[in-house]
Amino acid sequence: MSAAWTVAAVVSAVWLLVALFQLGDVATVFLDSRTARDRDVPGRIARERTNELFWIVPVAALVALGIGIGIDQAGRYVAEQQSLSPGHSYSLGTVELATLFLLGLAVLVVGIAALALAAVAATDPISYSALRREMREYEDERITPKQFDRFKRRLARVDRRTRSRAQPTAFLLTTPSILRLATILVGIAVVVTVAIAASLHPSAQASSLVWLSIVAPVLSAILAILGIRLGLSSDAAWRRVYAHQRTDILKLIDGFERSTRKRVPGLGDRVARALRILGRQQGQ
């Protein structure tokens, strides 16, 4: 196989991997759009969007792949230096074994880090549901002004977080949408590399592969548009849920505000004295 067809095969394999991630993205964002509801699980603060957790998998895979390629290249370099300097005390088999050991260790570390990241990302304390759950624990109590201010600061923080996660006017400028559209470039790269390889080695089979490669950018564009469309639907559904949760929080804040209002000094005594005077006047 020529170098041109090797490059085309590698680019095609990368596109297949990207297409699988696109399918997972579309599936999870569709699930988010269909399961947008107000849920409050006691004792557990869970991130509500599955799509946010899904992207941990490809990111961790890319990090592991990058580490593996780096270690492999380092091992090849050391092996080449060993072949040029046979006087060293270590052998080629030792270098290969050390490279494999480091590669396995790196993949293990990345795997553990990915699981830890997933566990951390699964908890979402900066959310309306988490804040509402905590405030409801003090619903029948009289909180201090310091606690009241803390709840208001947390609400402002959640408001900023929610606005940054759902901005319909600038939706195409968000990171998920940019990544979805960038996958089309990978599909175009497949067409370009296959066309170059076919021009260098023309044949009937090569021409059919060029026409077949056009499927890559078309499918990537369909999945990207579908992901963006479902993302808009999911954000709209979750905005309605957030609005309901925020309304509940504002009602709780209003109740806390009435309970934390400072009493006027001597007001109770003046009211009692006025009632006694009123009672004597009525008795006369």
Q: For residue 92, is pLDDT > 50?
A: no
The token pair that represents 9 in the structure block: 């095969």
Q: Tell me the C-alpha distance between 181 and 219, whole Å.
A: 12
Q: Which of 135-149, 167-181, 243-257 has the lowest mean pLDDT?
A: 167-181
Q: Which of 34-38, 46-50, 147-151, 264-268 has the lowest mean pLDDT?
A: 264-268
Contact between residue 52 and residue 121 where contact means Cβ atoms under 8 Å apart: yes
Over residues 32-51, mean pLDDT: 67
DSSP for the chain, please give it: --HHHHHHHHHHHHHHHHHHHHHHHHHHHHHHHHS------TT--B-S-HHHHHTHHHHHHHHHHHHHHHHHHHHHHHHHHHHH-TTSSS-HHHHHHHHHHHHHHHHHHHHHHHHHHHHHHTB--SSHHHHHHHHHTTTTS---HHHHHHHHHHHHHHHHHHHHH--GGGGGGSHHHHHHHHHHHHHHHHHHHHHHHHHHS--HHHHHHHHHHTHHHHHHHHHHHHHHHHHHHHHHHHHHHHHHHHHHHHHHHHHHHHHTPPPPTTHHHHHHHHHHHHHHHHH-
Over residues 176-184, mean pLDDT: 86
Contact between residue 53 and residue 121 where contact means Cβ atoms under 8 Å apart: yes
∠ CA 48-27-12, nearest 5°, is 130
Residue type, 10: V
Give the model's pLDDT for residue 162: 75
Give the model's pLDDT for residue 51: 75
Q: For residue 69, is pLDDT > 80?
A: no
Would you give the distance in Å from CA 37 to the centre of its chain? 19
Burial class (CB in 10 A: 0-12, 13-18, 19+), 58: middle
